Structure formats: C-alpha cells, structure tokens
Amino acid sequence: MNQFERGRGWIIAIDGPSGAGKSTVAKEIARRLGYLYIDTGAMYRAIGLKALQKNSRLDDTQQIITIACNSKLELKFFHGRSQVWLDGMDVTEAIRAEPVSQAASIVSSISEVRKVLVRTQQELGAAGSVVMEGRDIGTKVFPNADLKIFLDATERTRAQRRFEENRRKGAKSTLDETIAEIHERDQRDSLRSDSPLTQAADAVYIDTSGKSIGQVIQEILGLVQRLPGSEKTR
C-alpha cells in the first residue's frame, strides 16, 4: 500500500543501535515533514522503569508481562517536545536513567512484552505520516514501511556521544563505563531471539560516524524526496 492508497503521508522507519543518533534525526525529520514522531524505545523504557519501581525481578518473565499488560502508556507532544506518560505520570526524564536503559533492554527480550507494544506501535502508525524509531520497525512493526533507514556508527563514536550527553545531564560515569554499557545493551538487543536488532534487507544503511546531524538529516530528506510520488506530498 503506498501513501495515496492509504490517503495520508509516508511511514518512515528508522532503526539502529543505541547512540547512532536515531532520536535527534527522527525528531527533526518528523518536524520538517509535519509528521508524527514515535519513539518506541521510550515505550520499552517505561515498562523497564515500572519494573524497577515495583522492585520486580527483571528475570521474572510473568511479572514483567503483567506489568506490560496493565500499564497505560501515552506519548504526548507539548510545546514541540515529546513526553512519555506512564499510568498518568510524566516519566519523560525518569526513563533516561542508565539503570532504566539496561532494564528496558532486558524486558524488551520478552516476546509477550514485544507483542503488546508492537500492537500499540502499529495502531499509532497505521494512518501514516509518521516517523517511527526503534530496533525492529523496518523488520517487524512496519515491514511495508515506505522508507527504511538503518542508522549506525562505530561503538566508540556511539559511546562518546552517550558519554557527553550523560555528562551534560550531570552523570558521573566514565567513558570506559559508557562503552561497556553500550556494548552490553547492543549485544543483548542483537542476540535476543525475538526481533533482534538487524538491518532490514531493503533499508538504506547510513553510517553517522564522521557526519554531522545536519548532514544525516539532509541525506534522509533527499531519500524522502525521491520516494515515488513524493513531489505531490507537500
């Protein structure tokens, strides 16, 4: 189904490992196109946060599934910023803490949790005009997405970016600790049996290592312009 059959804009899937620049790029592409921006990692993070808040064991699969099935997740947009709400509380900042990153990665390996969140993601994006970022958007959530991008960068570059981002927020971890955390999370996300992080066969691979955010955004907007019929989109 193309955008005209759907009657709305494109579905753009942006996947890749942590620190590849997905969020910054996806948010800006959505803003430029006037599209909805959906951060699917935030949804796994919210479930991870709730599990930590409830002192649940992350290897207690049944309890984590119960949490996923009984949580109210909302992605809101307020003054141009995206917010994540969990059970009526704003958790936008809380879900970015490092323990939550690891918890999100662990809970995301549970198939039942993925099933619940993937269904929600498909509902959110079904109407089109959406930029959705994650690990499995092009392979699983929207295998028929109009444009699939796989953003990557060397592990060191990704860790350096995350380290600087954490330092700006006042976190004390060292670069070596950040490299170890990124490495552990990537391993888990890439090796899990259900929907591991992989590039879809028809995704465009972009290595962001030596590039500015602006260059990557221009590259993707160029690809959007070359989508069949895109001259009629705006």
Residue choice 13, 147, 189, 203 for contact with ligand DC (CB under 6 A): 189
- 41 vs 125, beta carbon nearer ligand DC: 41
Q: Could you tell me if 28 and 217 are in contact, meaning their C-beta atoms sit under 8 angstroms apart?
A: yes
Q: Which amino acid is at 231?
A: E
Hey, which residues between 8 and 27 contact ligand DC (CB under 6 A)?
Answer: 18
User: From CA 58, how far away is CA 81, in angstroms rounded?
Assistant: 30
β-strands 130-134, 11-15 pairing? parallel
- 100 vs 217, beta carbon nearer ligand DC: 100
- 56 vs 108, beta carbon nearer ligand DC: 108
- Residue 102 C-beta: closest distance to ligand DC, Å: 8
Helix (H) / strand (E) element for 89: namely strand 89-90
Residue choice 27, 50, 158, 185 for contact with ligand DC (CB under 6 A): 185
User: From CA 93, how far away is CA 83, in angstroms rounded?
Assistant: 9
- Residue 225 C-beta: closest distance to ligand DC, Å: 26
Radius of gyration of the chain (CA): 17
Q: Reduced to 3 states, what is the DSSP secondary structure of residue 123? A: helix
In this structure, what token pair is assigned to residue 145?
A: 């997405």
Stretch 106-145: interaction string toward ligand DC, x if CB under 6 A: --x-------------------------xxx---------
**104 touching ligand DC, by CB under 6 A:** yes
Stretch that binds ligand DC, among 41-49, 153-161, 169-177, 213-221 (CB under 6 A): 41-49
Q: Could you tell me if 39 and 23 are in contact, meaning their C-beta atoms sit under 8 angstroms apart?
A: yes
Q: Reduced to 3 states, what is the DSSP secondary structure of residue 128? A: coil
- 92 vs 105, beta carbon nearer ligand DC: 105
User: From CA 89, how far away is CA 107, in angstroms rounded?
Assistant: 20
The position carrying tokens 């590849």 is: 20
- 13 vs 220, beta carbon nearer ligand DC: 13
In this structure, what token pair is assigned to residue 33?
A: 């196109």
- 59 vs 231, beta carbon nearer ligand DC: 59
Using CB under 6 A, list all residues that contact ligand DC: 18, 40-41, 44-45, 104-105, 108, 134-136, 185, 189
